[in-house]
Amino acid sequence: MNQSVPSVVVKNLTKRFGTFVAVNDVSFETRHGEIFGFLGPNGSGKSTTIRILCGLLRPSSGQASVAGIDVARNPEAVRQRIGYMSQKFSLYNDLRVVENLEFFAGMYSVPKKEIPGRIAWALKMAGLEGRERNPTSSLAVGWKQRLALGCAVLHRPPIVFLDEPTSGVDPVSRRQFWDLIHSMVGEGVTVFVTTHYMDEAEYCNRLVLLDRGSIVAMGTPTELKNERMKGQLLMIECEPLGPALELLQAVPEVVDAAVFGSGIHAVVADAVVAAPKIRELLSAKQLHVSRIEQIAPSLEDVFVSLTATRGASTKSEAAA
């Protein structure tokens, strides 16, 4: 594998379904040994992009290549070089653990001689040694997830697509899963992840945020949090919350306000200017403010600030 060549290259990629533009002039590159996160609301074009990269859909215009192969010209060759794991794990529940591995080894045309070694590797990786003969249906979700990953990478693909891989998986299993991913990445594999959960997005080296088919932000999790948040974030703790929220939503300086646990997160242009104003306003209405301070935005705050502004206009149209 040539490490200097990007593992995935997407250039001005566009996909239309009739008049609907699902993917609109998207460009990015991924490196070998990188975890690349794909974020966006439902319907933002994530799945369509991934289907194109897997050779399952043809682009309307633009180019995409995976492991150096043009996906539109040679989709079959692309499919031999990728692994794909979806949230549904696509395992055969009525087969035993080892039978699932044998099935996928056959499907991905792993050379006969290599099969026993690859299956042993996958069992070890997934921590399923000693459970080879267990029915797959009897495994807990965390085990199933690791088995599904093992099946998806039996043929040593240089690029692995994970579609919401840990949906419904508990935090302990999730950490074990990410340890596995990191060890694969250490060997130069590129991992593509789609997720709706920001604690999962934090595991990515770089993130792309899609909205309505277009890229709205790209960078490391830290860059997105430090540079891409529109405005600054205030944490306000006060009693009672309901009336405080209503008041805050009417303040011109407040771009957005939402309840978060026992407090309110308010987005403002300038925290230093807005904080005393807000404190004064709430106190004047006899609301007791116990804390108001600027906090660092989470990835979710950034995500919402970059996508919801466009959504908000349609929402008010819908309400009207």
Partner 1 sequence: MNSTPAILVSSIGKHFGNVRAVDRLSFDVQAGEIFGLVGPDGAGKTTTMRMLAGVLTPDSGSATVAGHDIRLDPEGAKQDLSYMPQRFGLYEDLTVDENIRFYADLFGVKRKEREQRSAELLAAAGFAEFRSRLAGNLSGGMKQKLGLVCALIHTPRVILLDEPTNGVDPVSRRDFWQILYSLLAQGVAILTSTSYLDEAERCHRVGLLYQGRMLFCDRPEALKKKFPGGVIVVHSSDPERVHGELHGANGTRDVLLVGDRVHIFVDDAAKRLPELQARLDTAKVPYDSIEQVTASIEDLFVSAVEREAARQSPAKLS
Of 53, 101, 204, 216, the one binding partner 1 (CB under 8 A) is 204
Q: How far is the CB of 298 from partner 1 (least distance, A)?
A: 7
Residue from the set 109, 252, 261, 272 that interacts with partner 1 by CB under 8 A: 261
- The CA-CA-CA angle for residues 64, 69, 63, to 5°, reads 20
- Residues 111-140 touching partner 1, rule: CB under 8 A, are 140
Instruction: Tell which positions 35-54 bind partner 1, by CB under 8 A.
Output: 35, 40-44, 47
Contact range with partner 1 by CB under 8 A, out of 95-103, 108-116, 128-136, 177-185 = 177-185
Whole-number CA gyration radius for the chain: 23
CA separation (Å) from 243 to 219, 252, 288?
38, 17, 11
Q: How far is the CB of 267 from partner 1 (least distance, A)?
A: 12
Interaction pattern, residues 279-308, with partner 1; x per rule: CB under 8 A: -------------------x-x--xx--xx
The residue (of 132 and 300) whose beta carbon lies closer to partner 1 is: 300
Select the residue interacting with partner 1 from 28, 103, 121, 260 (CB under 8 A).
260
Tokens in use for 266? 């308010």
DSSP string, 246-293: HHHHT-TTEEEEEEETTEEEEEES-HHHHHHHHHHHHHHTT-EEEEEE
With 0-12 / 13-18 / 19 or more C-beta atoms within 10 angstroms meaning exposed / middle / buried, residue 207 is: buried
Task: Match 């309840």 to its residue by tokens.
Answer: 259
318 makes contact with partner 1 (CB under 8 A): yes
CA-to-CA separations, 113 to 119, 121, 152, 155, in angstroms, rounded: 11, 14, 19, 13
Given the complex with partner 1, which of 58 and 175 has the nearer CB atom? 175
Element (H, E) at 161: strand 159-163
Binding interface with partner 1 (CB under 8 A): 35, 40-44, 47, 87, 140-142, 164, 167-175, 178-179, 182, 186, 196-199, 201-205, 220-222, 241-242, 258-262, 298, 300, 303-304, 307-308, 311, 314-315, 318-319
